[in-house]
Structure 1
Amino acid sequence: MLTDYDLVVVGAGWFGLAAAKVYLELHPTENILVLESSGSCGGTWAETRIYPGLKSNNLHGTYEYPDFPMDPKVYAVQPGEHIPGDVLHKYLTDFAKRFGVFSRTRFHTKVVSIEPGLDDTWKLQTSLPDSKEQITTARVILATGLTSTPNFPQYPGVEKFKGPYFHAKDFYRNGETVKTAENVVVVGGAKSAYDVAYAYADAGAKVELVVRPDGQGPVWISHPYVDFGLRLEKLLHVRFLTCFSPCPWGDTAGYGGIRNWPHGTRIGRWLVDKFWATLGGGVVAANGYESHPELKKLQPWNSAFWIGSGLSIHNYPNNFFDMVKQGNIRVHVATVDHLTEQEVHLSTGDILRADVVVCSTGWQKQSSLQYLNFPEAKIGLPHPKEEQARLVAEADENIFARFPRLKNQPRLLGAVKPGDPYRLYRFIVPPTLVDKRNFAFAGMVSTVSTSICANSQALWISAFFDGNLDRLAKTDKEITNEVLLHTQWGKWRYPCGYGANLPDFVFDALPYADLLHADLGLQLNRKSNGFKELFAPYGPEDFVGLVDEWVEKHPTKTG
């Protein structure tokens, strides 16, 4: 069957741009389209998502594509500096233009639904500002990301409230309120809530920060440098330190003995606990949670061991925690009961005056895109519920045998426990579609190692589509066992992060890149000697020219 396109990529953020760039390099004559619902590239860093003072958590040098370094002369960001949001938007747009993706991108086009067509093709129903269109394609990559559909509560009485009421996603559109608001209520305990609270407080407003008592609590937030002047984001990519995170594919690049001992022995597990207690204790001490009653309310409720990529970086010009101590930001552990014309009423009985209410209440991890007539109706496993339950129990038994520490789960303080995680092979392909080789997710992961993961997933997907992976599960049973092992691991590893819903990587991102690179037949240990391999941090610079390297190793598998 003829199709409109050979490939459609949905989403023009970090992962979608990387996927389109690599596919174009390996298929330069094919007809490729990128669909983006907003009016610009960038995803989280799209023009309409950049609010006052927004910066990256990462410092310059770790938040860039391997094959497109962020030149300080071009982008006016120096090593050791956080990257402003508008600079990241320009960088991602420049990347799209440099590699031919921008000219193939159609903006203001939302994909409403996707369904199988004839002869293993796909039909995408799109919505444009003034029309609708159906597009057919031989292959599709969904890279809609994890922050496209906001959780936006509609509290009782919101229709009576006289001031602006919006989700943090729309802070950009309401940026003028930073200059005019005197009393602001920010709902949420995540980093974006802190960002919004800081912006208003820094402009002179009185800010009330409301953290609900039945959620995951305040975010873990560290300064960029920890003990001995070490840069936290780089520590996450030191191979030796990744051994302190239990991970079922952690020994892909070798060092199995070093990795297994910390989790398979009582002394090793004691050392793992000490390692995480030291990391967390350093953050608690640096932020001074114990020094002030208001700061105490912001002390995270669970160990950093369980948090996942929700651990954020203090990237503000002035100290956020000083604003709390000085009373510019007041903290309330409560739920919002209702709103009146100029007030927010809390479950504690407190009444907060408000000119503006901002809900930094997170994101729906499941896209609003509809999956129609999919195999087995969904994108998960095809087994009956009873069979799935048995297989899940077997996977759990395997995980707890290898990593006994994960049996001792934290108490989630009344948080609603989510359902099953996304069941994707390599966190990319639905098990029922592995044999089709025409459908993939890109970026269905939560990680601070965005550029490394985006680059590795992009090459893996292109090679997978072409049937050119060196290693791929060969039977349905093998696929099922790997999917369940990996996704159940996420559920037990990061219950206070996103692990129960989707992959959440901290010290696990480098091993994940190893996993994908092993499938691709690429070099895993990429440092110049054994000492550096274990103790020097990996970064985007270690993965420059990955596509060329793959082509050189597979000269007969490229077009």
Structure 2
Amino acid sequence: MGDASVVEKIYDLVVIGAGWYGLGSAKAYIQLHPNEKILVLEAENSCGGTWSKDRLYPGLKSNNLWGSYEFPDFPMEEKVYGVSEGQHIPAATLHRYLTDFAKNFGIFERTLFQTKVDSVEATANDEWALNVTSNTSTIQRIQTKKLIVATGLTSQPNMPSYPGEESFVPPFFHAKEFCNRADTVQTCKKATVVGAGKSAFDVAYAFATEGDAQVDLIIRPTGQGPVWICPPYVTPLKRKMEELLSTRALTFMSPCPWQGEDGFSMAHSFLHRTGVGRFIVNNFWNQISSEVVETHGYNDDPEVFKLKPWNSAMWTGSGVGIHNYQTNFFDLVKEGKIRVHLADIVKLDQNTIHLNNGEAFETEVLICATGWKKTSEGLKFKNFSSGLSYTTSDIKRLSKEADKKVHEMFPILKDQPVLRGPVKAEEPLRNYRFIVPSGAVFKRNIAYAGMVSTVCTSIFSTVQGLWISAFLDGKLQRAPKTEDEVTKEIMLHTQFEKWRYPCGYGASLPDFAFDSIPYVDLLVNDLGLKNHRKSSPILELLEAYKPKDYLGLGEEWVEAYGNQ
């Protein structure tokens, strides 16, 4: 529908966004409602979200290895995509794969590209009216009975502002624009990157290797510090790092209030509610951190030491990166090709960057890999509030009650890390199951897909998509019965996130690492389906969960409950 000039304005379902989660949700809904009128709206000119055509910067690859970053029912076959076991997936390949997925399952033909949703209005009959602007259609207003918001967490750049930037001559842009400004890699011999996350390292690496530039990497001393960059393979057994996160026996080591969904409550109780258990858990996290520190030699070189993470990996969620570069990133730091500055920019002046430690240097380009705003600011709701319908004082009271319960359940979370910078007080995303706004749980007309941060993106998008379709139909096999039940769960889960991932995103949104598979268990159990999907008890505990384990989940649900 890329150049549609006439489309129907009334739909049964509209999905906003055609990234991983929009595609996963649209596919599930189409499978369960093949005869309904479904529309997908995408602001970019192609599928993929993070992996859309205009965001593929030089050298970009997935952190995930082949086999863990695909939809269960659409495998990324080596003969088709040229990627095989043990390889990271090139960005262009991922874009092609996600486009093929959309075309294969009838999503692409239902998608209107370059169409931005400006506002969403709740109507009197509990439906939705969307005001949109489009480069390819004259439509200005769309009505729909149900709505899935899958705008993701990497849509709105968090762009800093510096004194003197109006007189700054070199190109100055956010990493989101790196694809469109990729020519700077070849033309600039002095590059400056601001940021401490994986994307900042990616941009710095591209300039230092492909462009042979001198790179200055600036990290704020009052931020969360350098990202944990893990080797692809860890432990003496050389297990894939990403597989550790989704191995059920190891998920026991991470506290979370939905752990019991996996059926191993006794193990969780021992590990998190006894002194001996907590000793084992602490040793596990210390070992994980120590192995990464030793592998990269953080303590062996004063320059590399500047990139050593400031807190234990225990407190960091999905923000962990994987060393997926062709050569050693840290060697570039040792050689001085990438110079690390723990400082703040105080002024930009012509071609010069001034830091608060007195350093100043010239640059030919300034890229800010400074993350994303965690809400789609361009999407405005009318006559609808996505937050809890309580006063500020009531939310504070409910938060304290939930905090007390979290600490009773997981005493280990009382011993929080000391953060260097000020903690920004903000109200987190408070959704039921991290998906449904509290006020819509019993209306069943809206859901958020992908308002979470996890390394298990493909599994989450598949299971969340099916859960959302069942929820919108009122066919979940386990659902809350009262508003009070909804509120208590939302408060427990969101306050837990704040305590669990203070060095991650937990204070503002759901963050997942070793607790990813237990969360998937939670949703699969809601659906009334089998969450233990391995062929034996031993494999259930020791073999990593991958997308292929959820193959046929939609068909299982249709067979069991589709005709209810």
> How many residues end up aligned between the 2 structures?
554
Q: Which residue is equivalent to 2:509?
A: 502
Check whether the contact 2:318–2:504 (CA below 8 A) recurs between aligned residues.
yes
Are residues 1:75 and 2:81 paired?
yes
Structure 1 residues without counterparts, runs of 5 or longer = none
Are residues 1:372 and 2:378 paired?
no
Task: Specify the SS of the correspondent of 2:436.
Answer: coil
Are residues 1:49 and 2:55 paired?
yes
Are residues 1:381 and 2:388 paired?
yes
Pairing of 1:196-235 with structure 2 (within 5 A): 196-202=203-209, 203-227=211-235, 228-235=237-244
Task: Specify the SS of the correspondent of 2:354.
Answer: strand
Distance in 2 (alpha carbons) for counterparts of 1:456 and 1:369: 27
Q: Which residue is equivalent to 1:352?
A: 361
Distance in 2 (alpha carbons) for counterparts of 1:288 and 1:176: 33
Distance in 1 (alpha carbons) for counterparts of 2:331 and 2:496: 38
Query: Which of 372, 382, 394 does residue 401 from structure 2 map onto?
Result: 394
Query: Which of 305, 308, 326 does residue 296 from structure 1 map onto?
Result: 305
- AA partner of residue 548 (structure 1): E
Deviations 1:57-112 (A, max 9, x none): 00100000001000000000111000000000000000000000001101111111
Q: Which residue is equivalent to 1:87?
A: 93
- AA partner of residue 33 (structure 2): H
Structure 2 residues without counterparts, runs of 5 or longer = 1-7
**Which shows bigger deviation, 418-427 or 47-56?**
418-427
Deviation for aligned residue 1:545: 0.7
Q: Which residue is equivalent to 1:440?
A: 447
Check whether the contact 2:118–2:380 (CA below 8 A) recurs between aligned residues.
no
Check whether the contact 1:418–1:501 (CA below 8 A) recurs between aligned residues.
no
Check whether the contact 1:112–1:368 (CA below 8 A) recurs between aligned residues.
no
Check whether the contact 1:3–1:138 (CA below 8 A) recurs between aligned residues.
no
Per the alignment, do residues 3 and 200 of structure 1 end up closer, same or farther by CA in structure 2, a change over 3 Å counting?
Answer: closer
Q: CA RMSD in A?
A: 1.2
Q: Which residue is equivalent to 1:176?
A: 183
Distance in 1 (alpha carbons) for counterparts of 2:451 and 2:180: 27
Are residues 1:101 and 2:101 paired?
no
Q: Which residue is equivalent to 2:68?
A: 62
Task: Specify the SS of the correspondent of 2:157.
Answer: coil
**Large movers: runs of 4+ above 6 Å:** none
Task: Specify the SS of the correspondent of 2:133.
Answer: strand
Check whether the contact 2:119–2:382 (CA below 8 A) recurs between aligned residues.
no
Pairing of 1:180-329 with structure 2 (within 5 A): 180-202=187-209, 203-227=211-235, 228-329=237-338
Distance in 2 (alpha carbons) for counterparts of 1:11 and 1:373: 19
Task: Specify the SS of the correspondent of 1:447.
Answer: coil
Pairing of 1:129-144 with structure 2 (within 5 A): 129=135, 133-144=140-151
Deviation for aligned residue 1:3: 6.4
Check whether the contact 1:114–1:369 (CA below 8 A) recurs between aligned residues.
no
Distance in 1 (alpha carbons) for counterparts of 2:9 and 2:438: 24
Are residues 1:153 and 2:163 paired?
no
Task: Specify the SS of the correspondent of 1:291.
Answer: coil
Distance in 1 (alpha carbons) for counterparts of 2:531 and 2:402: 27
Are residues 1:428 and 2:428 paired?
no
Task: Specify the SS of the correspondent of 1:290.
Answer: coil
Distance in 2 (alpha carbons) for counterparts of 1:25 and 1:345: 56
Distance in 2 (alpha carbons) for counterparts of 1:498 and 1:144: 17
Deviations 1:166-209 (A, max 9, x none): 10000001101111101001000000000000000002100000
Distance in 1 (alpha carbons) for counterparts of 2:29 and 2:348: 50
TM-score, scaled relative to structure 1: 0.98
Distance in 2 (alpha carbons) for counterparts of 1:384 and 1:31: 39
Deviation for aligned residue 1:330: 0.2
Q: Which residue is equivalent to 2:498?
A: 491
Q: What is the percent sequence identity of the aligned residues?
A: 53
Deviation for aligned residue 1:291: 1.0
Deviation for aligned residue 1:555: 4.1
Deviation for aligned residue 1:412: 1.5
- AA partner of residue 78 (structure 2): P
